[in-house]
């Protein structure tokens, strides 16, 4: 009799223990899910805040550009502004003035002019480039 009672007690205790473990695992999984969701939401919030800041700076730039354009529009009627635009953008001149222009060499031309072919280092480059066609045929 005592043994049957102890067996029932152990079975009830084991069932209760199993149910407690299942509930604990469920709560643990739910907590981990909520933590991961919270981290993802915070990352999205930070990304959106960065986009908002970028858009705010872009708006400020457009407002500054708008102000400068409004100033330009208000100055259109001034004679000094018209003269400045005519000289700089349209390359016009007043009667009796002489305009001097400078032609600057392109970037690639500067390098070719600066090479001195009398240096031994440049000879090697010349020979290597000059005889490179031999290597490709053999």
Q: Is the dihedral of CA 32, 35, 37, 40 positive or negative?
A: negative
Q: Taking the domains of the chain in order of start, what are their residue ranges?
A: 1-66
104-to-32, 77, 109, 116 alpha-carbon distances in Å: 67, 35, 10, 21
Q: What is the pLDDT along the chain (138 residues), one digit of tens a residue?
A: 556 656 666 666 667 788 889 999 999 999 999 999 999 999 999 999 999 999 999 999 999 999 999 988 887 778 888 888 777 787 777 788 777 777 877 776 555 545 565 677 766 666 766 665 555 544
Tell me if the pTM is above 0.85.
Answer: no
């Amino acid at each position: 009799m005592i043994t049957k009672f102890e067996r029932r007690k152990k079975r009830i205790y084991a069932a209760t223990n199993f149910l407690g473990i299942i509930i604990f695992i469920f709560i643990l999984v739910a907590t981990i899910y909520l933590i991961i969701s919270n981290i993802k939401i915070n990352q999205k919030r930070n990304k959106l805040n960065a986009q908002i800041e970028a858009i705010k700076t872009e708006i400020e730039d457009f407002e500054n550009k708008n102000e400068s354009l409004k100033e330009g529009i208000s100055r259109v009627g001034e004679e000094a502004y018209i003269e400045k635009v005519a000289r700089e953008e349209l390359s016009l001149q007043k009667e009796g003035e002489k305009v001097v222009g400078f032609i600057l060499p392109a970037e690639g031309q500067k390098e070719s002019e600066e090479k001195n072919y009398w240096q031994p280092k440049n000879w090697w480059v010349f020979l290597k480039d000059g005889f490179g066609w031999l290597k490709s045929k053999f």
